[in-house]
Amino acid sequence: MKIILATPIYPPEIGGPATYVKELCERLHGKHDITVIAYTDVREPFPHVKLIGVSKRRPLPVRLVKFFLALWHASQGVDMIYVQNAMAAGLPVSLVSLLRGVPYVVKFVGDEAWERASQHKLTDKRLEEFLKKPEAPFRIRLMMAVQGFVLRHATKVTTPSEYLGKAIEKAYRIDPRRVVTNYNAAEETETLPFAPKTVPHQIAATARLVSFKGIDGIIRATAILKNKYNDIRLVIAGEGPDMERLQALAKELNLEENISFLGKISRAETWQLRKNSEVYVLNSTYEGLPHTVLTSFAAGIPTVATNISGTNEAVYDGKTGLLVEPGDDEGLAKAISRIFDDKALGERLVQNATELLHEKFSWDKHIENLEAILKSVLLKPVHKD
């Protein structure tokens, strides 16, 4: 097949779509003719792949027009466009598809309208509540309108979890026949230049520092655990608008010597952080499907996470990790303490998580499912009402 991969970001930028497109190019170029169209000022394509870059230095309206024109010229004679979001890349793709008749598939990993509203403190609702009644400013409702347009006109929409697929089917009135789950694949194992050394009672957390990631709850759980473990350490990697608030909370709880805020760090450094810690904690109130948990599975570190839809499609309580209810700081502290005190439990969780990676979240499985989805679009297109 001749496929265009349309993406809002491209390496060396850090982010899911950039990493994902790189991995796809490495795995698909021998089977398919691949062209990448990306918002980027980089001009070096991946091996055996054509790259068309649209500069990010122009105002948004200009970028959108440039992206549309790049797609228009490149899409002559292609079989498929596979786009990595439903906004900046998705909108031009949907317009080109309508005008030229080229089918497109959207990889939808998170609702950008809700995430933007949450980050800017415009809503404190969870995703499902927000989608039912999106009390938000015009710009957020406009984002939802764009997403809905792109998703409804896609031939297929893939999501990384069944939960997210069901949520957007209802909210954006998408034909359920067009929505299919294709689980994310875990990152490849990172090779470190030196052997890691586990720090006793060290907790690792990696996240964008926004309210729904629940980092404040991990900090409060650390304060509880300090009564039992004087050497408790919490190392937080990531940046975001809540940084100052979280640092103030750590100071308020007298945890300045126990908590480190690393800010933005490299993939190798996040891998090292996991390898050097006793437990990885994800305390979100929302996840489509947490790629960071899959990375922790691959790194061989026991995981504690919140029992929410999306996350519990990868973390099975007592089998591949420990689950706690959202907002339960005491329960979170107890689960972490179990990992600290029961090495056999941690080893069992890691072993089961490793097996699950191979069964459900491998790149071989993801590519097999993706190619089946793309071929089904060409062989039996879904009728568009």
pLDDT digits (tens, 9 = 90+) for 11-60: 888 677 888 899 899 999 889 999 999 999 988 888 899 999 999 998 99
Domain boundaries of the chain, sorted by first residue: 2-185+363-379, 202-360
> Residue 190's pLDDT is what?
61
CA distance 98 to 76: 13
> Residue 192's pLDDT is what?
62
> Residue 385's pLDDT is what?
45
C-beta separation of 214 from 238 below 8 A: no
Q: What is the mean pLDDT of each run of 10 residues along the chain (385 residues)?
A: 94 81 90 94 89 93 96 95 95 96 94 88 86 88 95 96 93 94 81 76 94 96 97 95 96 96 89 94 92 92 96 96 97 98 97 94 93 88 48
CA distance 347 to 150: 44
Sign of the CA dihedral running 15, 20, 21, 27 = positive
- The domain covering 2-185+363-379 belongs, at the CATH homologous superfamily level, to Glycogen Phosphorylase B; (3.40.50.2000)
In degrees rounded to 5, what are phi and psi of residue 233? -130, 135
Q: Output the DSSP codes for 206-229.
A: E---SGGG-HHHHHHHHHHHTTT-
Radius of gyration, CA atoms only, the chain: 21
C-beta separation of 274 from 280 below 8 A: yes
> Token pair for residue 232?
């408790």
> Residue 347's pLDDT is what?
97
C-alpha distances out from residue 218 to 246, 295, 297, 337, 375, Å: 10, 19, 20, 13, 44
Output the pTM of the full model: 0.84
Q: Do domains 2-185+363-379 and 202-360 have the same CATH topology?
A: yes
| Dihedral in degrees, nearest 10, Cα atoms 238, 240, 244, 249 | -60
The second-level CATH assignment, the architecture, of 202-360 is: 3-Layer(aba) Sandwich (3.40)
C-beta separation of 130 from 140 below 8 A: no
> Residue 194's pLDDT is what?
65
Closest to 154 (Cα-Cα) out of 225, 221, 82: 82
